[in-house]
Copies of this chain bind each other. A is one copy, B any other.
Amino acid sequence: MAAYTASVTVRLKPGVLDPEAETTERALERLDFDLEELRSADRFEIDMEADSPEAAAERADAMAGRLLANPTIHDYSVEVEPAEPAAGATR
């Protein structure tokens, strides 16, 4: 068993309206930032013990399918990394 961090990113499917992202995009444009499009997503970073990265990915995938994502409106992707000794933020 080793410690892994599985990151599940839950995005709205293309075509699903996201008024919050549109508002954020317009606010950035009003601040004179140059951008084409902004999409927002939810990200879940899950620390777990597993036998292999594959096992951790499989478990995170099952979590997304059962609870974290709504298949009617969401797509999701899973990435797995060995857990950092000092878990936390980058900046």
**How many whole Å from A19's CB to the nearest CB in chain B?**
15
**How many whole Å from A13's CB to the nearest CB in chain B?**
6
Known contacts A9-B43, A62-B33, A63-B28: does B89 contact A77 (CB below 8 Å)?
yes
From 32 to 91 in chain A, residues with beta carbon under 8 angstroms from any chain B beta carbon are 33-49, 59, 62-63, 66-68, 75-77, 87-91
Q: Are B3 and A36 in contact (CB under 8 A)?
A: yes
Cβ–Cβ < 8 Å partners of A36 in chain B:
3, 47-49
| A residues lining the B interface (CB < 8 Å) | 3, 9, 11, 13-14, 21, 24, 27-28, 31, 33-49, 59, 62-63, 66-68, 75-77, 87-91
